[in-house]
Amino acid sequence: MTYSGERILLSSQREGQVSRFHKWVFLVVPLMAILFQVYVPMFFPFLSFLEMPLLVVVYFAIMRRSQISGLMVGALVGLAQDSLSKNPLGMFGIVKTLVGYFAASVGVRLDVEHGLIRLLLGFFFYLFHQFLYWVMSRALLGQQMTFDWSRTAVLAALNAVVGVALFRMLDKLKERS
């Protein structure tokens, strides 16, 4: 294995290449992710565990390596998700804003092209997303929800695996320099 293949930490920000996308990608991909979440579980209920909007937010955040861009994508996708749920507007929005911000912050320092890194990021940010949502539901809305760590960890692993494949597909939409 070569040196660059093993290295997962970037020594400087300049080493991390900022990926660029066509503008339509920022519109179509989140829309498709939201459509996937509201439409596909009607026919395949077992796929309802997939948090496609979250994976898309994480992808754009880590690939753009811009915290402002990441949090904006997170906020917009989260608000769209809120609009299609029965929650008050802002629940998913705040959670995904933070996810986008932190994913971009982490993406600056890591080699986000690395498959293992993507897997770990998908796992961690799913856990973070679910935990933060649970905290906000209890704290802001007063809902008595339970947080099942073991179940969430399993779902995080499944989402991470799907995320790796999804990120590979989304890589094809990058603008060629």
Interacting residues toward another protein by CB under 8 A: 31, 34-35, 37-39, 41-42, 48-49, 51, 53, 67-68, 71-72, 75, 78-94, 97-98, 101, 140-141
Give the C-alpha separation, 163 to 177, whole Å.
25
Minimum separation from the CB atom of position 106 to another protein (A): 13
Shorter beta-carbon distance to another protein: residue 89 or 116: 89
Minimum separation from the CB atom of position 31 to another protein (A): 7
Minimum separation from the CB atom of position 144 to another protein (A): 9
Shorter beta-carbon distance to another protein: residue 8 or 108: 108
Give the C-alpha separation, 151 to 120, whole Å.
17
Which contacts (CB < 8 Å, 24+ apart) does range 82-86 have? 84/34, 84/38
> CB–CB of 122/55 below 8 Å?
yes
